[in-house]
Chains A and B, each alone.
Chain A
């Protein structure tokens, strides 16, 4: 999530656990940033010394990749995955070093802040106003066997910062005035949680197999919610098509699906409508969609209420029947919804069977 949450300490704790389990563990690279807590956590683990690299007039310390490969442990702990190496060593970026270590058959535990992911860099710059220069391709994270999120509330992190557990005393004020603002940390936390949820979701989907076992896994694993779809239905056979289409869209977006029927107060249903409604409820249940029923004279108003309450990001409506009389002078429902719910996508689901040439051979 951010500097100071405890990534390195957690990595070292994992290293200790592996060592206790009998594995050969070494620290390939450790960045303590002068934190006593981190240095203490590294005690008891073998630490490979850094190598000296001369660049222009400076002498720098870098991870010793050849030494790691020669030592060839079972597990190597390498801090700061997004680090950019000093020119003159094997690779420009540390994640490339890590790839070589992995190719040598050595397992790696590493650390990364969410803002270092390439795809999120612009988004986080927009949120925080601070651009992070060192990034790694998202595919590197995608190849990790396991991603562990080190989560800390923004308030706790700020307490740690003020207590001098993150930066030395002379840097605390500057940090508080720049990156370490509560709104920045909240945004970073949200992005980090979402990113890990998506990683987990993607892995879950690749492991789900069709059949009883697959259905069991799918049922037990909740979806990560980022979008929420709302389909407007009526107790009519055509609504089934709308629900199916909405469900497919929800599946593609990894989103939750709500179905909404706005019933006029005191409206009595025909037997045919009752049957359609029962069929829609059954369909919703099988698909895992939530069926909502509201009583209102004002359709658009009721939809807006539900959309705001449920955090809807996407509304699907069927093809409306042609308006009659004075209703022709009113804005059609999709336009009214777009006006009333700015920022919410509105999609009109067509009847594909009506497309010219739609009839299959």
Chain B
């Protein structure tokens, strides 16, 4: 074999290697097309500093069963004396860590997460704004006897009457006080 042939084979092998490196997915990762694509979205709105563990677990169960994306949504309330577009750093200081906690928990169970933030004069107004922008297949809310912790009964009725999505309302469970809060964030946030 002449030196020219050896060099030609070496060059061809190198080119093949580069082409393979470009076309083949790296590190044994499954090609994007092989991965199951989430087709449904489950909205998990919240207003306070914690959400009930029951509603989160319900969202995870459904997301696993339906190959869906969980969309936790922080609903921020803009005081009447401020413009609607105003930044809300104080409320965000509690809402962002909770979004992070929810996302970490869901991701660690293999559930895709895509967070949202809604803003309005009330929780319902913020939720309405989100629903106007995007379609969600399912909405999971937890009925709470204390309206300060989330959506009121009137808000829930409004959801059932007006929103074209499957609504799952979890009945109040006074005996189940488990919550997911910002304290559940892994590492400093």
User: Which A residues are within 8 Å of any B CB, using their own CB?
Assistant: 208, 210-212, 214-216, 218-219, 237, 240-241, 244-245, 247-248, 251, 275-276, 278-279, 282-283, 285-288, 322-326, 328, 351-355, 358-360
Q: A244-B96, A288-B89, A324-B26 are in contact. Are A282 and B117 (CB under 8 A)?
A: yes
Q: Known contacts A215-B90, A237-B112; is A360 also within 8 Å of B22 by CB?
A: no
Q: A215-B88, A325-B21, A353-B103 are in contact. Are A358 and B186 (CB under 8 A)?
A: yes
- A-B contacts, 28 listed (Cβ < 8 Å): A211-B90, A214-B90, A215-B86, A216-B79, A216-B81, A218-B89, A219-B89, A237-B69, A237-B112, A237-B113, A237-B114, A240-B114, A241-B100, A276-B114, A279-B114, A286-B87, A288-B88, A288-B89, A322-B27, A324-B21, A325-B19, A325-B22, A326-B18, A351-B107, A353-B103, A359-B105, A359-B108, A360-B184
B187 CB contact (under 8 Å) in A240, A323, A355: A355
Residue of B nearest to A248 (CB): B189
In this assembly, does B134 line the interface, its C-beta being within 8 Å of a C-beta of chain A?
Answer: yes
Query: Does B96 contact A247, Cβ atoms closer than 8 Å?
Result: yes
Contacts of B141 in A (CB 8 A): none
Interface flag for B42 (CB, 8 Å): no
CB distance from A321 to the nearest CB of B (A): 9
The reply to whether A287 and B114 contact each other, CB–CB distance below 8 Å, is no
A237 contacts which chain B residues (CB < 8 A)?
Answer: 69, 112-115
What residues on A are CB-neighbors of B86 within 8 Å?
A: 215, 219
Pair B116/A282 contact, Cβ less than 8 Å: yes
A351 to B104, CA, bound (A): 8
- Pick the contact of B92: A208, A287, A324, A354 (CB < 8 A): A287
Q: Which residues of A contact B18 (CB under 8 A)?
A: 325-326
- Name 8 extra pairs, CB < 8 A, besides A244-B189, A286-B119, A324-B22: A215-B89, A215-B91, A219-B87, A241-B100, A244-B100, A279-B114, A358-B108, A360-B186
Question: When the two chains form the complex, which single residue of A275, A283, A323, A360 contacts B101, counting CB atoms closer than 8 Å?
Answer: A360
Closest to B184 in A: A360
Interface: B161 (CB within 8 A)? no
Interface presence of B133 (CB below 8 A): yes
- Nearest A-chain residue to B95, judged by Cβ: A286
Q: Which residues of B lie under 8 Å from residue A353 when comparing CB positions? A: 103-105, 107-108, 186
B159 interface hit (Cβ, 8 Å): no
Residue of A211, A245, A325, A355 contacting most chain B CB atoms (<10 Å): A325
* CB nearest to A351 among chain B residues: B107
Nearest-CB distance from B38 to chain A (Å)? 10
Q: Is the CB of A219 within 8 A of B82?
A: yes
- Contact A328 B104, beta carbon cutoff 8 Å: no
Which residues of A are found within 8 Å of B19, using beta-carbon distances? 325
Choose one: B90, B99, B118, B119; the contact of A208 (CB below 8 Å). B90
CB of B29 closer than 8 Å to a CB of A = yes
CB < 8 Å neighbour of A283 from B29, B103, B105, B117:
B117
- Smallest CB-CB separation from B20: which chain A residue? A325
The 10 closest A-B pairs by CB, nearest first: A288-B87, A325-B22, A353-B107, A212-B79, A237-B114, A359-B108, A322-B26, A353-B104, A358-B186, A352-B186
